[in-house]
A and B are shown apart, each in its own frame.
Chain A
């Protein structure tokens, strides 16, 4: 029996049992196969082949909701999963807004772009994995590459509910990365880069090798700058992680819980008039493409901020009803988790400033942020991270900078934008897009 048939059979079993108990439910079932390689000292260090499956149910009974999951698709396990969910639901609050509300949605994510056939041999993939390390170690000053790897994954996702919805999604992805560790005159520096795509041929191993090495080399002699306030430009991946840390401000779920600082700001200014941002369902080459959200609604583009004004938060059907808003079809739920919201591809609109205007005078270009997961308070907006990059003047890097901290308040920072570049850049993970943005002033801790 094929993977899809097994998943479909399990879904039918669960939905049938749910209905026999007078409840409603949606079910998410997924399976994935992956293959990954790592190299060390000219040989393969790790060779990993995996296959896995999981099914998760969200039940609604008497307006009470609970979730449960199982990695076994055996009928007894599925029955136990469902019984656990129904037992748990008795303890949940009564919530009239959380319902199985997606009716008869039958969407198939059948874009060829995201599910291309893979005919590349394992030998060629091994050669790529070895070349990542070799490419780094063959560079000047005898660097090593302690972290490198190649990975690929094919996955399928099925979403169905007791209201006639059945959606299917299949995708395949490839990735590789290489870090350079450089040691010279008692100083160490490490940096890396990654590449991802929908086919093996899309992977840019040369970029991974060169970009990581060049950064490690350029930052080797880095020193802290003097403590003070600086104008700052974040490299696009650093900016992506910064926006990721403050994703709560776009969340309808957080607003419903009363912890989103923008929950009362719809239609009001939350950022500089230079700033506009959209969550796009589809971007060519994007890595978060799916034709439907985790409830089965058709995915769509959502303008979040337009010229500084907050236009909408991200909603699923639950938050939209609870907050009397229009759903943005941004439901997010894995088989093992509860209903939430998440963006697809965050796109910050380009501005009209030329490169010379954005990079005029003195500023800090920050290429790496450290501790973003722990140094950000998404509710207050306060943040403080370790950082490295370059002190620049008029677009030229004049001094490598390491051992500094960058601190500020995210919500204040969005209102203090000096210039917005006119060329859109893409993050290495291909889910965040932004022009170069110059922030007026952030606090730098250094020497």
Chain B
């Protein structure tokens, strides 16, 4: 995408101006989306993003700029603008660029650049729509979308790195609305993977439509969720958002380096109940949060964050490693060329234990089974987090008694990690988008079902 001779000239120019390190991130990003509403194609959109991000290090200071042009003079102009205030005699010299090759661990068959497959996508969405509506006449609306992206990246840096990758993302999203009288409720699912449109062969549109409709129907006329502190069993899959928010963000060097994480000085310490072991793994085949290389060009890897309750690793990008001294983990990620990379999660999950869901529920006299979670957020400095419960049930006398409406769970990371007392064997994953300093990136959350002994539940009762 960018002539290596041009890249080398720009990098040389940056080092001539005194930068310790220079990097070019080149991105060509093709997108296609189609949305179905009321069984008809409501929106179709496509587009191409192209830009180059220039990152310079002067000590621990990051200088970042971007442009839509691949012209050498324009790239040098942006570089000069960035370095103007820090210009000094040259202290580093650039290595010769060597093209790195690697094995693609996430193969794609039906790439967007080959075909948009709009016929097939629309048929898939219609099938989900019909399945949802067949569940009940109370399903009054279904909205489905299919999104496919193809992100080609190329990275050059002053250490001689020249590497490129192509990432193929496909995601389906469905939202059903149920109505009875004046009351409405919704159901939602959004599976995705680092793959091409062949994802549709792994997903059953009929089953998806039915699941989404059932979620909406079960909440219709459900009782308000109780409020206050109580035991909660959190379901597998997207339930992993609890670890993502409660702990994951606090283990990124982005917040650790600023001492804006409550865990910044607790490496090697017991920060969770001994039943908890957790991982951030970018290597899982075709998972939504996987990558071959991170956005700094480093091969990604599996990072054991917590082992038997003990903090064992942070997730570190290049600058995070420089600032904290912890080893890089292939976690430098960014939404696009418009952002400097930062340490970010990939596929983050709590490892499987040996309890069954029934065992966990049977230990609770009165509490909540949060079967399906929604999104959440965290304040890293204090560890205070919140996340939404999308599908919940009341637990009474060790048994599930009735469905409940929307609720929120809140606590702090350090507290909730110690309150996890039982972990199931049913590890599962779910796709999500994570927003932070370097934009929104695809991440997978995951966990088996688990029991939290005490957490604040915010419901309507």
Contacts and interface: CB of A to CB of B under 8 A. Distances in A.
Contacts of B41: 91-93
B340 interface: yes
Nearest to A406: B458
A384 B406 CA distance: 7
Contacts of B51: 52, 71
Contacts of A407: 224-225, 227, 406-408, 458-460
A190 B225 CA distance: 29
Interface stretch (A11-19, A100-108, A271-279, A397-405): A397-405
Contact of B186 (A50, A122, A380, A444): A380
A258 B388 contact: no
Which of B185, B224, B384 has most chain A Cβ within 10 Å? B384
Given A374-B374, A375-B388, A385-B386, A69 B406 contact: no
B266 interface: no
B141 interface: yes
A202 interface: no
Nearest to B140: A258
Interface stretch (A21-29, A77-85, A164-172, A428-436): A77-85
Interface stretch (B56-64, B89-97, B155-163): B56-64
A318 to B, nearest CB: 11
Interface string A112-138: 000000000010001000000000000
A166 B51 CA distance: 28
A304 interface: no
Given A338-B43, A377-B406, A261 B184 contact: yes
A46 B382 contact: no
A189 B382 contact: yes
Nearest to A412: B460
Interface stretch (B78-86, B193-201, B294-302, B395-403): B78-86
A89 B44 contact: yes
Contacts of B388: 371, 374-375, 384
Interface string B349-393: 000000000000000000000000011110111111111100000
B461 interface: yes
Given A49-B78, A405-B456, A88 B379 contact: no
Interface in A318-333: none
A52 B336 CA distance: 13
Nearest to B405: A382
A71 B50 CA distance: 6
A375 B386 contact: yes
B143 interface: yes
Nearest to B383: A188
Given A146-B258, A386-B410, A374 B377 contact: yes
Interface residues of A, number: 76
Contacts of B255: 146
Interface in A363-406: 370-371, 373-375, 377, 379-380, 382-386, 402-406
B4 interface: no
B228 A380 contact: no
A40 interface: yes
B177 interface: yes
B48 interface: yes
A69 B37 CA distance: 22
Interface stretch (B65-73, B103-111, B267-275, B419-427): B65-73
Given A188-B381, A446-B228, A72 B376 contact: no
A80 B47 CA distance: 9
Contacts of A338: 43, 45
Nearest to B339: A48
A370 B379 contact: yes
Contacts of B456: 224, 403-405, 445-446
A139 to B, nearest CB: 15
Interface residues of B, number: 80
A252 to B, nearest CB: 14
Interface in B414-438: none
Contacts of A68: 45-47
Given A45-B60, A370-B384, A385-B386, A81 B48 contact: yes
B47 A380 contact: no
A43 B61 contact: yes
Contacts of B65: 48-50
A380 B41 CA distance: 25
A283 interface: no
Nearest to A144: B259
A92 B118 CA distance: 10
Contacts of B407: 384, 405, 407
Interface hub of B183, B379, B388, B408 (most chain A Cβ within 10 A):
B408
B227 A49 contact: no
A261 B340 CA distance: 41
A443 B384 contact: no
Nearest to A385: B408
A51 interface: yes
A438 B38 CA distance: 39
A48 B66 CA distance: 9
A87 B51 CA distance: 25
A198 B179 CA distance: 46
Contact of A443 (B375, B385, B460): B460
Contact of A188 (B116, B183, B382, B458): B382
B265 to A, nearest CB: 12
A414 to B, nearest CB: 15
B384 A379 contact: no
B65 to A, nearest CB: 4
Chain A CB within 10 Å, residue with most, of B60, B62, B383, B386: B386
A110 to B, nearest CB: 27
Contact of B48 (A71, A227, A375, A445): A71
Contacts of A402: 384
A445 B177 contact: no
B305 interface: no
A48 B340 CA distance: 9
A446 B219 CA distance: 24
A307 interface: no
Given A72-B68, A407-B227, A371 B61 contact: no
B115 to A, nearest CB: 11
Given A51-B67, A67-B46, A380-B219, 10 more contacts: A56-B47, A66-B44, A88-B34, A181-B381, A258-B140, A371-B376, A375-B386, A375-B388, A380-B183, A384-B225
Interface of B: 34, 37-38, 40-51, 60-68, 78, 81-82, 84-85, 116, 118-119, 122, 140-141, 143, 177, 183-186, 219, 224-225, 227-229, 255, 258-260, 262, 338, 340, 374-377, 379-388, 405-408, 410-411, 456-461
23 contacts: A47-B85, A51-B67, A52-B68, A66-B46, A69-B47, A70-B48, A72-B48, A77-B48, A88-B116, A122-B84, A188-B381, A224-B456, A258-B177, A336-B45, A370-B379, A371-B386, A371-B408, A373-B377, A374-B388, A379-B185, A380-B405, A384-B388, A385-B408
Interface of A: 40, 43-53, 56, 66-72, 77, 80-81, 84-85, 87-89, 91-93, 122, 126, 144, 146-147, 179, 181, 188-190, 224, 227, 257-259, 261, 336-338, 370-371, 373-375, 377, 379-380, 382-386, 402-409, 443-447
Q: 7 nearest interchain CB pairs?
A: A405-B458, A445-B227, A374-B375, A146-B260, A386-B386, A371-B386, A384-B408
